[in-house]
Amino acid sequence: MRLKKISFSTIIKILISFLAVTLVIQFLGPAVFSTDVFEFEACLKPWGYGRTFIHFPPLGRVIAHTHIPPFDFHFTLKSINLGETLEFAGNFYQTNFQQGKIIQKIKISMIKYFAFLLILSFFLGMAAMFFGRGRDFNKKEILWSGLVSFFVLLIVLSAAVFSYDLNAFSRAEYEGTLEAAPWVLNALQEGIGVVENIGGQFTEIVENISFLQNEIDKTAPLITDKDSKTILHVSDIHNNPAAFDFIRRIVETFDVEVIVDTGDLVDYGTSLEMELFLQHLAAFKTPYVFIPGNHDSPFLIEALKKMENITVLEEDIVEIAGFHIAGIADPASYSTAALVSDDKLMEKTAQKLEKMIRERGNIDIIAAHNPDCFKYLRHNNNTLLAGHLHKPCIKKTDNYLELNAGTTGSSGIRGLKNLEIDFSLILLNFQPLEKEEVYVPFSADLIKVKQFPLNFSFERFLFNDQ
């Protein structure tokens, strides 16, 4: 009877020790892995339904039923290596590229993680047998407890690994902003080649634009002086790398003093997006003034502030290259959600901008992302620059000039979705007004590039009776 009692007691203790192991795994911090291209966290959660969660903060997550329960796998993308990512993206579709290299590194990392969990379960299983026994303990029971915890976890993990189905991600669920992922991936697959192609053609396009501008100057020359200056107005790049090719070619071809970007550089304001475009922004030697839009975020703003060649205007006035430029950030840029600000917030922002201009005076350029910010500024010969609408336009009245650069990034992913690839920007020419110590615009060149078929348009607008 004593033997049966001891055996039953031992079994109960071993089961309790295994439950303790699962609780420790449940609350154990994630392990960090690197595959050269990506850095991610991985953790195992007991009492699940055999699902894999891939988290892309703050965009959302992807969920797929990939294996046998009771564990769930959680992966969280933390950062990417820009150089390695560009090399990977450039070689991804080459037949001789070993795509399995990254998968192999992930497998090795996970094997190490599982080995750590198995060893941990063995020692935790043994340690659990010490509680409540004082100095009276049985070495065999302790060893058995550790072995049982080890092998039970090994069996469960093996079942999950050998039943793992990568094809389950074709039926995955998307949560958060990533709900748009299926059509985004389809759009990228169809449109990325088009973007790369048009990016390579910008050299020829801008050369043709320059030739056309010179021909216009021959037939109808502008009245300028040696102190005239040109700014480049861009907006709504929305993660499109071809936009930077467009901007770079324009800056190299024309004598641009300042680039004014009226927001929506990215789509979601994440660190991943920012890392992809750091090298493009850093390459600009021309002063770059950025006014945050509703798709931008606090993280993006802080990252841009650290760059020497970029000035971020959230609610401020700066003097750059002789221009006094006022700007105010879209209220939605203070959030990670890519939303359009409500009417009350826009009204408050419009009032702030009007007060800032009224108190300061002598402003050459007033910039905002949403043209609704100009509600109280369409007077006094103000020069207003905005974006947001994705429709380029130049409006000149008797007492103000309003310009909208449209979308220099062709609406980003949304443009790829319907292959509506239209790039636009504005070259705005100024001359000094010495009596008032300000610059006044005397002409603007609206440049639009379209795909399908590839063509461009160049429209010149003259002000001040030129």
Q: What is the pLDDT of residues 352-380, one digit of tens each?
A: 999 999 998 889 999 999 999 999 999 99
Look at the pTM and tell me if it is higher than 0.85: no
β partners of residue 314: none
Distance CA 330, CA 386 (A): 11
Q: How confident is the model at residue 177 (pLDDT cuts 50, 70, 90)?
A: low
Cα atoms in the 13 Å half-sphere on the side-chain side of 303: 21
pLDDT reported for residue 403? 98
Question: In whole angstroms, how large is the CA radius of gyration of the chain?
Answer: 30
**With helix as H, strand as E and coil as C, how does 157-189 read?**
HHHHHHCCCHHHHHHCEEEEHHHHHHHHHHHHH
Query: Helix (H) and strand (E) counts for the chain?
Result: 10, 19
Distance CA 449, CA 250 (A): 12
202 and 249 in contact (C-beta within 8 Å)? Answer: yes
Closest among 78, 76, 365, 414 to 231, alpha carbons compared: 365
Phi–psi pair at 282, nearest 5 degrees? -65, -25
- Start-end of CATH 3.60.21.10 domains in the chain: 187-462
**For the structural domain made of 187-462, what CATH number should be given?**
3.60.21.10
Q: How confident is the model at residue 191 (pLDDT cuts 50, 70, 90)?
A: very low
Angle of helix 271-282 versus helix 82-91 axis, rounded to 10: 90
Q: Is the pLDDT of residue 1 over 60?
A: no
* Across 325-331, average pLDDT: 96
* Across 137-153, average pLDDT: 79
pLDDT reported for residue 461? 92
pLDDT reported for residue 86? 46
Q: How confident is the model at residue 96 (pLDDT cuts 50, 70, 90)?
A: very low
Higher pLDDT, 277 or 246: 246
